[in-house]
Structure 1
Amino acid sequence: MRPAALNRLTVQEAGDRYVELVRARTLTGGLSPATAEVYARDVATFADLAGGGRVLDDLDGADVDAVLLAFARKPDGRRAVPEGRAAPQGPAQSASSQARFRRSVSAMFKHAVLAGWVQVDPMTAATVSARERGGLRAERRALTREQATGLIGAARRLGEDGGGPAGERAARDGAAARRDQRTEVRDALVVLLLATVGPRVSELVRANVEDFYTNDGVRYWRIFGKGGRTRDVPLPGDVALVLDAYLAGERRGGGPAVAAGEALLLSWRGRRLARGDVQGVIDRVQRRVDPAHRRTVTPHGLRHTTATHLLADAVDMDAVRRVLGHGDLSTLGRYRDELPGELEVAMRSHPLLRDRDRDRG
């Protein structure tokens, strides 16, 4: 039974108390000392990544997601890289270590609910789950309308002002102030294309400048998809404006003319953007979103977002299928995620009752 009063402990205080209880279980034989120390180490790492001075009850699912993904990228001190050898690519922590860390955090929050340290277990709202292969990953789940518009709004602002003067950006984000290293408009373009057109991440990073053309005043993207199939998708006006701004000024710092077959999206070193870099781009833009409307999302989650909201707005299913590049409508059904409150909205505007509502008016 939940205590009547909430004890607003900081993350550090709650972690220390929980570790004391875990270590006490070793005295009764309920837990081995080695296992208890693993819990203690994971809880200490969680406090460090989440911020020990924050109130535990203030953490939500997005905060937990950020900590879990930060842990996955945290270097493993037990596996030293020999001198002269390059560090391994991919997540720094093994898949088993990531899954164990998530279990430790989940166990702590279960106790926190019973002890009255939190009102609601934030793990129930976390989207990052453990996989047998590949470790921790955010679920490929569509953003709600508020979350999606918050992300798109942040990207549009970034595309319009480039994030502010170069000096301000360098101080705020740690970004380089050199013109050939500015990536703000590129980041905005990446997020806008993913969230409004819904390409596969492989389609996005393979895109070349020549794949974008204008017909009767409308900007199109010729997307080269699976199985050698191509599709021409018109870009929303706001996205086309950011694309043109990127091509005119920010790509390569406004450098030389583009050659045929040259990549659209470049790293600040001038190389084609890699698939693994796209998640980092999304995360950077997410940091500009109001925390109340921010949630971790993968590139494929933004593809789900495109499909879900186009279908929820009664866009023709075949048109959505063609935008996403699916071969048939049955595949599209897997991309239609449930949105909170959508059933209530549907029943309030029931088509069989609209005539009666008009008569009352």
Structure 2
Amino acid sequence: MRPAELDRVTVAEAADRYVELVRARTVTGALSPASAEVYARDVATLVELAGADVVLDDLTGADVDAILLAFARRPDGRTARARDGRAGAGGGAQAGAGQSPSSQARFRRSISALFKHATLAGWVQINPMTRSTVTARQRGGLRAERRALTREQAQGLIGAARELREAPPEHGKRRDQRTELRDAVIVLLLATVGPRVSELVRANVEDFFTNDGVRYWRIFGKGGRTRDVPLPGDVARVLQAYLEQEREPRRESDPRDGRDDGKALLLSWRGRRLARGDVQAVIDRVQRRVDPDRRRSVTPHGLRHTTATHLLADAVDMDAVRRVLGHSDLSTLGRYRDELPGELEVAMRSHPLLRDRPAP
């Protein structure tokens, strides 16, 4: 039950009150005008990303994750202007991808300060920043924490990927521009087989073969090691549908411009091999189809953690899990085994020493 003194202000109202307070501090010299304007700009961005009419107290840690990652992926206007200037002078600088790590860290500090004030002012019961799983990296910007999804979250994501097989085409897209089956294959392979993202984007169609009725993926991993991993039946069926309905028509109809992407498993709608950076966008797109109560931001490596965690939690042989993930020894599995809510309680309820007790 909410306390009587809780002030259910919207994000826009809270932002206006906070910015007014910040600017007032410049009068006393506690804050420079330039710093106050930086805070105001970041808070305005928060309003844009969170939604002006959303009640501030309704924001959860998952919402903060989405806001931080959405900001991180926004184009950096300063980088674009600098690039355009170099291009005009004959330079060929490559486009920057999203905000710089320093800008991401600054934005995080700005909204952290707002939520800290909101907690003291009675605008929120719990500071949602304390529930965020996005961590700050000194040289890598903001990233979703590489930890496993819970069973409910993983099943929600897998369910959304399965439904893509029957999804209607997006408005305005031609048949050869559809990517629903490809997106489903990406999420299902990451969540059930747990490959490294580099192994996934390097995969070729010829790496998948059938033996005795079972579909296998020959994965080329680190150190020149290969492993043959059997695919779950559902995953194999979606893969086959993608190969027949999306990939082959696209490969035949789109020009290569001299590039040899014809063998690649995962192609863009233009017929190019997908890059590592494209995979996160696919996961985020599928996540938007998941019920909000079962949704949590996750990276490709987080899905690798998810595979390891749930296979081990289900008492799958450790050496079999090691071979699925492509590790050289069992000790490495410790880094991929995350705790799950309630798993200790389940383990103690089914304690092996208390099974088949003799009748009293």
Q: Fold-level match, TM-score > 0.5? A: yes
Spell out, residue by residue over 1:98-139, the C-alpha distance to the aligned partner (whole angstroms, 9 max, x if none).
101001111111111111111211112212121111211111
User: Does structure 1 residue 105 correspond to structure 2 residue 111?
Assistant: yes
Q: Out of 45-54 and 299-308, give the one that drifted further.
A: 45-54
Q: Note the C-alpha offset of 1:253.
A: 3.1
Counterpart of 1:44, as a letter, is A
8 A contact 2:133–2:145 mirrored in 1: yes
Give the Cα–Cα distance (whole angstroms) in 2 for the partners of residues 21 and 253 of structure 1. 59
The answer for the alignment partner of 1:142 in structure 2 is 148
8 A contact 2:219–2:228 mirrored in 1: yes
Give the Cα–Cα distance (whole angstroms) in 2 for the partners of residues 267 and 111 of structure 1. 45
Q: Out of 260-269 and 332-341, give the one that drifted further.
A: 260-269
The answer for the alignment partner of 1:173 in structure 2 is none
Query: 1:247-326, aligned counterparts within 5 Å?
Result: 247-253=243-249, 256=252, 262-326=263-327
Give the Cα–Cα distance (whole angstroms) in 2 for the partners of residues 241 and 341 of structure 1. 33
Spell out, residue by residue over 1:262-321, the C-alpha distance to the aligned partner (whole angstroms, 9 max, x if none).
011001110111111000000000000001110110000000000000001110000000
The one of 196, 199, 209 aligned to 1:203: 199
Say which SS state the counterpart of residue 136 (structure 1) adopts.
Answer: strand
Query: 1:9-24, aligned counterparts within 5 Å?
Result: 9-24=9-24
The answer for the alignment partner of 1:352 in structure 2 is 353
The answer for the alignment partner of 2:232 in structure 1 is 236
User: Does structure 1 residue 95 correspond to structure 2 residue 101?
Assistant: yes
Say which SS state the counterpart of residue 216 (structure 2) adopts.
Answer: strand
Give the Cα–Cα distance (whole angstroms) in 2 for the partners of residues 347 and 140 of structure 1. 27
Q: Note the C-alpha offset of 1:5.
A: 2.3
With normalisation by structure 2, the TM-score equals 0.91
Counterpart of 2:318, as a letter, is M
Counterpart of 2:105, as a letter, is A
8 A contact 2:251–2:262 mirrored in 1: no
Give the Cα–Cα distance (whole angstroms) in 2 for the partners of residues 68 and 307 of structure 1. 27
8 A contact 2:148–2:338 mirrored in 1: yes
The answer for the alignment partner of 1:246 in structure 2 is 242
The one of 217, 220, 224 aligned to 2:216: 220
Q: When the two structures are aligned, how many residues end up with a matched partner? A: 347
Spell out, residue by residue over 1:71-121, the C-alpha distance to the aligned partner (whole angstroms, 9 max, x if none).
112233334142656784343321111101001111111111111111211
The answer for the alignment partner of 2:256 in structure 1 is none
8 A contact 1:180–1:252 mirrored in 2: no
The one of 111, 131, 136 aligned to 1:125: 131
Structure 1 residues not aligned, in runs of 5+:
171-175
Say which SS state the counterpart of residue 269 (structure 1) adopts.
Answer: coil
CA RMSD for the aligned pairs? Answer: 2.1
Structure 2 residues not aligned, in runs of 5+:
254-259
Q: Note the C-alpha offset of 1:4.
A: 4.3
Identity %: 78
Q: Note the C-alpha offset of 1:6.
A: 1.6
Q: Note the C-alpha offset of 1:323.
A: 0.1
Give the Cα–Cα distance (whole angstroms) in 1 for the partners of residues 180 and 42 of structure 2. 35
Counterpart of 1:342, as a letter, is E
